[in-house]
Structure 1
Amino acid sequence: MLGVISIILTLIALMYFAYRGVTVLVLAPLLAMSAALVSGEIPALYALSEIFMPAAAGYIKDYFPVFLAGAIFGKLMGVSGAAIAIAEKISDVFGPKRAIAAIVLATALLTYGGVSLFVVVFAMYPIGATLLRRAGIPKKLLPAAIALGAFTFTMTALPGSPQYLNTMPTVYFGTTTFAAPILGIMSSAIMFFGGVYYLNNRANKYMAQGEGYGEHPDENFKDMGDNVPGFLLAFTPILIVFALNFGLTKFYFTRASVINKYKDLGINVNGTWPVVIGLAVAVVFIIIAMRKYLTDTNKIVFDGAVGGLLPIFNTASEVGYGGVIKSLAAFNTVKLAIVALAIPSVFKVAISTTLLAGIVGSSSGGTAIALEVLSEEFLAMNINPQAIHRIMLVAAGGLDTFPHCGAVITLLAVTHMDHKRSYKHIAMVTMGIPLISVVVISLFYLVTGIV
């Protein structure tokens, strides 16, 4: 009983204090030790040093290269002006009447190309604000438009996405980032079209009521056309990431000679390697081809590398917390209850993952915990590993954006909006519609078996 109480109390505390802005780097170890202390099963310091730290370190070992390469790539794309050039081109094609769709697509293109979610937020803010202002659309919809392009289908559903979340299940299930392409495309279509329809509907309603973009004197961003590379040059790094990721995943790391070479060394091919190679090559390309747009390359690379540390350590801390919770007997009871639910097995995958993501306020944190504690049970359900991969990720992108989600708080801060004005729209496009999509693709898989 005390174990269950410790889990509930520490999870509530994690949500509350994360919402209040307390860093998870401090919260996770403290709450992990608190859970151990309240449960009385293991000493708090033992939980910290022998359970929390190995779990956190294991996550860093597996995913540090992805975070590092992705952060440097995103920093270079932002500082060079390549991100702005890409978004501006798309906005020119769509025109002001389709401003919301242009923002979503521009954000999605950058995210799918490998740009960090947080970098995308900074890069898209001036573009999105300018587009909405020209169209007379209320600014309070801007955070949701950016979130739709960055935090949903390009992160969880589109096959081949280089976002680190899409690489996480590969280590556990032997899949690739292109797992379950049919399910992924179906889910992406539901999220994109459903989200754009909702935001356009809200925009039309507000504008019909006489509400416009509004006065926002705190805005301060540079002109979109301020010394940026041409579209083709700016888009080339994204093509490099996608092409290398696709080619290496589909044609090189699937060769028997390559697989056996690594097996002889006692390891398996890691699904994150193609993404890391693609990002690394793209980084070199940007440094060489866009050098005239980079004033201090060493500093930019350093800043990008440092920028990748906080996200991975935040997530690793959540994994460490999950490792301690996993070690408690009460959690095993909860886990068995989830596995024993009298519902189709794919829904067990979705429900457990989205609940964990909602609890920690992070799709990656929830996925990491679910993979750590439930991956073996998932595989034992005789579900196609590709289906597990994709359904798990789409579900993780469901309840992950509760108000205490760090990405949501960052997004609102960057766009100078707040929860009161913008959160309900964010919730609709990042929680409501994605949860609908995971139900649809789960049913589709159950009926057809197609992935």
Structure 2
Amino acid sequence: MSILGILIALGLLIWLAYRGWSILLLAPLCAMIAALLAGQPLLAHWTQTFMGSAAGFVAQFFPIFLLGAVFGKLMEASGSVEAIANYMTEKLGTSRAILAIVLAGAFVTYGGVSLFVAFFVLAPMGHALFKAANIPHRLMPAAIMLGAASFTMTAMPGTPAIQNAIPMPFFGTNAFAAPGIGILASAIMLGFGLWWLKLRESKARLAGEGYAFAGVCEEVAVAAAADDVIRERATTAREFDPEEIGKGGRVSKLPPFHIAALPLVVVVVVNLLMSFVVLPNIDVSYLATDAFGNTTLSAVAGVWSVIVALFLAILVLVAINFARLPSIRATLDAGANASVLPIINVASLVGFGAVVAALPAFKAVTDWVLSIEGGPLVSLAISTNILAALTGSSSGGLTIALDALGPTYMALAAEIGLDPGLMHRVAVIGAGTLDSLPHSGAVVTLLAVVGTTPRESYFDIVMAAMVGPIIALVAVVIVGSLVGSF
């Protein structure tokens, strides 16, 4: 009955979340249903298991959610994201419209800009570019997903995306884990996605199909940001609340490219220096005391590096755009507010996963996962894939998987001499594959912002944002199993 209870609770969570119900209500409710059907104490699981795990997630990752949302909001309000996208467009021209959108999305998200900020800035620009190039606008969501929500989210070493930060405390790694493996995976995702989109563009031109969007793209984006159902799905999937898009004002004159890009460079460079130069050479023996939780540097170094990188990038961004920003305090407030609902939603998913993992029947699930043939890399890839697919959230699915199985995988790694950095990269790439199923908040939001329907655009999203990453994941698992991490 316990296994059946888990399936019932999970099915109810997925179905009601897809219909726009709040995860804040669904997660504890479904967790209690699973506990009830397993004959477990309800109040104890709610206040101790659920809340303990959810609070632990907030304690670990709220600084990254907060600083990431503030940074993304400042990049939007200062016009920096738009300036970077304009620069890519000017340099590549309308003949390479798809490449321009992909690279603009990749550049800003690898530098730390929230995915949803990128969506709302790139979509209107993409419409103008696709219209000039006479490319069907139905291909735009796939181009944006390829650049902003694939390799720069999961594979590129050093990315400050929350997905790349989540494995750090579990595996004692940093954002640059398995850099060679990450670059290989990124090349596969980018190469496959661009090939597919170019093929689709060519077929559309042969068929005489061109740009056919009849609406006003800015109005469509504004309506999407104000839609409550989209907001519920979006804040479960990513780290920025669309409700805050547009708040705090916008600059009337865009900054030049070098000014717009500088904060992104700061994020990457500071993250690198903190990970490999600063933190390894300072005395942090105090972490082993009761006052700081008897932890180690390896458990916190990765998160610390991202926090410092985002904080310094925010200072640089404000300093160089101080005269341009119409209302710094309002922008900062909007960015801070944008972080709250997403982290609480994801923490609630984590709490649900903790209750399920605490049920007696979950041992059978664990045994099944670990018995999958091919070794720990294969079973880790499959488990993160499944949980990200079920929750529609790469960050939620990844945290649930690592909460339940992370210590077991670390023990296995020590036993067979497997590099934790390789497990880090496999887990993150695995969580970024099937998280783009139709119920994904990112997919729902992007389609609404661009003004297309699943029937028009979802197949190309599958190819660019799911098939490419799955091919990359398979390649990474094979290469990692044969030659190890590099």
Q: Judge conservation of contact 1:339–1:377 (CA < 8 Å) in 2.
A: no
Partner of residue 262, structure 1: 287
Cα deviations by residue, 1:148-205 (Å, 9 ceiling, x for unpaired): 1111100100000011111111111111100001110000000001011111111111
Partner of residue 246, structure 2: none
Within a 5 Å distance, the mapping from 1:87-98 to structure 2 comes to 87-98=85-96
Partner of residue 129, structure 1: 127
Partner of residue 11, structure 2: 12
Partner of residue 437, structure 1: 472
Aligned match of 1:351 in 356, 363, 382?
A: 382
Unaligned runs of 5+ in 2: 222-249
Cα deviations by residue, 1:359-380 (Å, 9 ceiling, x for unpaired): 1111101110111000111112
Aligned match of 2:461 in 426, 433, 439?
A: 426
Q: Judge conservation of contact 1:218–1:416 (CA < 8 Å) in 2.
A: no
Within a 5 Å distance, the mapping from 1:225-236 to structure 2 comes to 227-236=253-262
C-alpha RMSD of the superposition: 1.6
1:394 is the counterpart of 2:429: yes
Aligned match of 2:188 in 184, 187, 190?
A: 190
Q: Judge conservation of contact 2:251–2:326 (CA < 8 Å) in 1.
A: no
Shift of 1:226: 5.6
Q: Judge conservation of contact 1:252–1:258 (CA < 8 Å) in 2.
A: no
Match of 1:182, SS? helix
Partner of residue 238, structure 2: none
Cα deviations by residue, 1:333-355 (Å, 9 ceiling, x for unpaired): 11111112232221011011111
Instruction: State how far apart, in whole Å, the 1-side matches of 2:458 and 2:286 are.
Output: 50
Partner of residue 275, structure 1: 306
The normalised TM-score by structure 2 is 0.89
Match of 1:294, SS? coil
Q: Report the residue type matching 2:193 in the other structure.
A: G
Within a 5 Å distance, the mapping from 1:201-216 to structure 2 comes to 201-216=199-214
1:37 is the counterpart of 2:72: no
Q: Judge conservation of contact 2:77–2:251 (CA < 8 Å) in 1.
A: no
Instruction: State how far apart, in whole Å, the 2-side matches of 1:396 and 1:358 are.
Output: 8
Partner of residue 291, structure 1: 322
Partner of residue 150, structure 1: 148
Instruction: State how far apart, in whole Å, the 2-side matches of 1:192 and 1:448 are.
Output: 23
Question: Percent sequence identity over matched residues?
Answer: 40
Cα deviations by residue, 1:391-430 (Å, 9 ceiling, x for unpaired): 1100111111111111111111111222121111112212
Q: Judge conservation of contact 2:2–2:34 (CA < 8 Å) in 1.
A: yes
Shift of 1:325: 0.4
Partner of residue 242, structure 1: 268
Deviating beyond 4 angstroms after TM superposition, the runs of 4 or more aligned structure 1 residues are none
Q: Judge conservation of contact 2:372–2:378 (CA < 8 Å) in 1.
A: no
The normalised TM-score by structure 1 is 0.96
1:448 is the counterpart of 2:483: yes
Q: Judge conservation of contact 2:421–2:485 (CA < 8 Å) in 1.
A: no
Cα deviations by residue, 1:300-331 (Å, 9 ceiling, x for unpaired): 10000000111111110110000010011111
Within a 5 Å distance, the mapping from 1:328-407 to structure 2 comes to 328-382=359-413, 383-407=418-442
Q: Judge conservation of contact 1:6–1:38 (CA < 8 Å) in 2.
A: yes
Mean Cα deviation higher: 318-327 or 258-267: 258-267
Match of 2:280, SS? coil
Mean Cα deviation higher: 57-66 or 382-391: 382-391
Partner of residue 71, structure 1: 69
Q: Judge conservation of contact 1:125–1:415 (CA < 8 Å) in 2.
A: yes
Q: Judge conservation of contact 1:80–1:294 (CA < 8 Å) in 2.
A: yes
Task: Pick closer, same or farther for the CA change 1:195–1:354 going to 2, 3 Å.
Answer: same
Instruction: State how far apart, in whole Å, the 1-side matches of 2:396 and 2:356 are.
Output: 14
Shift of 1:142: 0.9
Match of 1:381, SS? helix
Q: Report the residue type matching 1:421 in the other structure.
A: E
Q: Report the residue type matching 2:71 in the other structure.
A: F
Cα deviations by residue, 1:104-125 (Å, 9 ceiling, x for unpaired): 1100100000001111111211
Shift of 1:18: 2.0
1:307 is the counterpart of 2:307: no
Instruction: State how far apart, in whole Å, the 2-side matches of 1:292 and 1:420 are.
Output: 45
Cα deviations by residue, 1:68-125 (Å, 9 ceiling, x for unpaired): 0000000000011000001110111111111111111100100000001111111211
Instruction: State how far apart, in whole Å, the 2-side matches of 1:229 and 1:54 are.
Output: 45
Instruction: State how far apart, in whole Å, the 2-side matches of 1:295 and 1:390 are.
Output: 40
Partner of residue 200, structure 1: 198
Match of 2:283, SS? helix
Instruction: State how far apart, in whole Å, the 2-side matches of 1:374 and 1:281 are.
Output: 34
Instruction: State how far apart, in whole Å, the 2-side matches of 1:444 and 1:238 are.
Output: 31
User: May I ask how many residue pairs the two structures share in their alignment?
Assistant: 447
Instruction: State how far apart, in whole Å, the 2-side matches of 1:61 and 1:449 are.
Output: 33
